[in-house]
Amino acid sequence: MGSVSEKGIHTDFKDNMTYGEYLRLDKVLSSQERLSGHHDEMLFIVIHQVKELWMKLILHELNAAIAAIEKDELPEAFKMLARVSRVQEQIIQAWDVLSTLTPAEYTEFRESLGRASGFQSYQNRLIEFALGYKQPHILKIYEKDQDLARELKSAFEAPGIYDVAIHALRQAGFPINLDLLTRDFSITYQGDPTVAAAWLEVYRDVDRYWDLYQLAEKLVDIEDSHQQWRFRHMKTVERIIGSKTGTGGSSGVKYLRSVLDHQFFPELWDVRTKL
């Protein structure tokens, strides 16, 4: 069979924007500079840059969802949170690609990283802040860039998505502890009996509290996926460098394993036992 002719395809772009220009591919595709010149360093750079792009989208959706929940626009937030879950699937699978890097290959260019480390990913920190996980000592890492430091401090002190979900419970008429609504949001949430009781009622009367039930399940989806990402991160690092200290000075696998037990939304997990 002969080839199909696409007579309508545009070929003259002297006065029109191209695909590459729209996506600024000249900047994106020129940003993979191998400092060691080693073949496998390209994999390492691309994987981490791609993950940072996905994280940018996660933050875009999480922050919009927080704003929507604050305005009592729960259905709008559901679409954003569902998209976060789909993005999380992508970054979880990315570890499969990085795991093709063997320990022998990584040692060939590891020194080129200097003190740079994924531990310093500020977008990962912003995601943790949006999910309510706040660690004060983390902020010191970013003091070099004052604009970034201010952005992180602002996010550190702002209510996370679970804080606005708790406010939504109060708005729905549940007797939530009022101290939670004005608490210091820079402190990681630890749980509260009034929140536990409210979620239990939501799960016992799904038809009446359908939107809150949907919100709860969307949050569980996100925490579940984030913990899967953390686990895959830990196992990939263990596979490549064992128990060595990270390039940024962290304890590496030991640190990554230590955060696996943290729960962002504790009552949403406890309610499963109480039902």
Residue stretches of the annotated binding site: 44-48, 106, 110, 233, 247
Residue 138 near residue 271 (C-beta atoms within 8 A):
no
Six token digits for residue 23: 């996506």
Residue 256 near residue 230 (C-beta atoms within 8 A):
yes
Residues in the annotated binding site for substrate: 44-48, 106, 110, 247
Name the nearest CA neighbour of 74 among 226, 209, 192, 208. 209
C-alpha distances in angstroms, 16 versus 9, 10, 11, 28?
13, 10, 10, 20
Residue 170 near residue 181 (C-beta atoms within 8 A):
yes
Distance CA 75, CA 267 (A): 22
Q: Which residue has the tokens 């009622």?
A: 201
Six token digits for residue 55: 């994280």
Residue 56: CB partners within 8 Å, gap ≥ 6?
A: 123
Residue 182 near residue 168 (C-beta atoms within 8 A):
no
Six token digits for residue 167: 């406010």
Residues in the annotated binding site for heme: 233
C-alpha distances in angstroms, 29 versus 24, 33, 38, 57?
9, 10, 18, 19
